[in-house]
Structure 1
Amino acid sequence: SKAVRANTRLIVLTASSNVTGTILPYKEVGEIARRKGIIYLVDGAQGAGVLPLDVKTMNISLLAFPGHKSLMGPQGTGGLYVNESVNLAPIIQGGTGSHSFETVQPLFMPDVIECGTLNTPGIVGLGAGIEFILKTGTDTILKRKELLITKLYEGLAAHKKIKLYSTAENHKNSGIIAFIINGTDSSEIANLLDSRYHIATRPGFHCAPLAHKALGTEKTGLLRLSLGYFNTLDEIQYAIDSIKEITETNLS
């Protein structure tokens, strides 16, 4: 609340860090935005599909999200919720779609910000993922992820050479365990996990250089393990055992 100035026009917050999985206080910030009368944009990339995101009760003016993460849709899909009180002016225009005889983009929503041909097959796939989530419930999905997070965190925390940057505390992690091994470049570890154990991870800086500077990992990056609803406890144990073997090798 103290960070809001007299000239603040927009508050932007990610629901959950894509680097560490930490869930941020997006509900509380929404209440601040409501009291101050400020437009509130939430980045739901890491939260949509696993965290409750109610645009009405949380006073979210704009909600952006990709389809390929916890919404279980294909890559190249996503969405932007825009409250009717917000007027967006497009910076790029293309095929005018529903008014194809016109030379400019239609002025009504959502056509004004939807230029060109939409990715219909991708949207159908995204719809299937969302349908599964609605049937299963985000509470059930988050509880499942928390079970996996706890097992993975405890298994990795037992090794002195591993430094963890995520939390295993319930309701504070959306499904990521980030770590480094003995100060080794995260890409080197990712390559070993892929080539030797067929475990897919995400090394590097995760399009978040400022977050890595804040964490002090701008030289090595972090290795990110993203846990999904369909992961099993056996797979988690296999990952723990594989990473343990790597810690016992001579890493640079």
Structure 2
Amino acid sequence: MTTSFPDPAAFVGKVAFISGAASGIGAATAGRLARLGARLVLADRDAERLAAFAAQLATQDVLALNVDVTSMASVEQAIAAGIAHFGGLDLAVNSAGIDLPRCATAHYPAEDWDKVIAVNLTGVFNAVRNQIPAMLARGGGSIVNVSSIMGFRAFAGQPAYTAAKHGVIGLTKAAALDHAAQGVRINAVAPGFIETPLLAHLSEEKKQEAAMLHPVARLGQPDEITSVILFLLSDAASFVTGACYEVDGGYLAR
């Protein structure tokens, strides 16, 4: 039986863990899930911003936690806290990420490499590693990891970010194969340039240049990525696992 989407009842009562929840794609996804009746475990390293965002959500079913995704122990504790609070875990969106100034590979600072890989790749592994057992205990679940168009393409001056986002897609596929028969679906999305805090350092001129890299000739909005994430989380995508959906205004079609 095929489930239609959107189903107004698809997320009612479901427990969802979202990293990077204080802003950008994470916040947009949390907002939509809150309006659809999900119970939320929100994780971010910016505790003050996260608390302010959580207070604005149209739900009381929210647990906001200060989490360092680069720490396995921090992620493990957060997911355990969510399970203790809500009774289990059904859904997860791993969207925490950082970017650092561009630098050619021959001169790229080792500490910057470590920071970007730790958050953007190891952080996803730490989350998935703890989310899967929690979902198995519920009989299944769905995870969406946020990669990027840079999971398929390379940008000069961004070796760490490019490597990390390629790695997220590989990790997604490997984990999906490991647990496909156990009812845990694991997919990824690859956004193009989206108007989030990651682009805040760009001038308006640079933002316009980024916009014109997309055939649709504009930047994407966080909620446009959220729509695809919600599809992948839902039972409408029951036969989808190990996939990476490009949500990029046609960027990768060239």
Please give the TM-score of this superposition, normalised by the length of structure 2: 0.30
Q: Larger C-alpha radius of gyration, 1 or 2?
A: 1
Please give the TM-score of this superposition, normalised by the length of structure 1: 0.31
Which structure: greater helix fraction? 2
